[in-house]
Chain A
């Protein structure tokens, strides 16, 4: 089973600042990596798939990068609605399987 480790656990920033989140895998996940945003009381929302492709309607301030075992999600300039918890997720093609990282919270400083 592939274990995803996210860091930092919490990031305290102000609106307008840049946020960079890390996701490290215990073994190579190729590019089958996605990022999700979750706000309190809501279901997760897909932001990025295939490590770097934005999902429909996701603003361009969100950028995913990486391959192999190290991936990052960058938010270039935080908007108030971006303060939330972010999860990375890997997907194995066959046999099908998936796992999530432990999450990173971005809070208002």
Chain B
């Protein structure tokens, strides 16, 4: 059974950097899967932030391209999200997830519980 768990600060100051880590158990980040970050502002829908692969390949939402980076750490079996220059609009529940990929996506089939990150001074 795959379990994902987000961790990091729940409060970030405006103009600061948001940094979250997702711990993966029950699967290896070095396989063929992609590792995803999704966020959900309070009362709103889901937004794909981006995804990373252990081959150092990543892809990001164009609306966040200039501020976001995702990295996969083979040594700790974790992956992380870095979002710079945050504003109140970045306040959201942040989810990490697994994109089950075997040359083709079989969907985001495992999710963390989510972590609320508030941007406020």
Residues in chain A within 8 A of chain B (CB atoms): 1, 32, 34, 36, 38, 43-46, 48-50, 55-56, 87, 89, 91, 93, 95-103
Contact = CB atoms under 8 A, between A and B. Distances in A.
Contacts of A95: 59
A43 B106 contact: no
Interface residues of B, number: 26
Closest 3 CB pairs of A and B: A49-B107, A43-B111, A100-B46
Contact of B48 (A38, A99, A103): A99
Given A1-B62, A43-B114, A97-B59, A103 B46 contact: yes
B120 to A, nearest CB: 22
Contacts of B36: 98
A96 B45 contact: no
B115 to A, nearest CB: 11
Interface in B24-76: 34, 36, 38, 45-48, 51, 53, 57, 59, 61-62
25 contacts: A34-B105, A38-B46, A43-B112, A43-B113, A43-B114, A44-B38, A44-B46, A45-B111, A46-B108, A49-B109, A50-B104, A89-B46, A89-B48, A89-B107, A89-B108, A91-B99, A91-B105, A93-B105, A97-B59, A97-B61, A98-B36, A98-B51, A99-B61, A100-B45, A100-B47
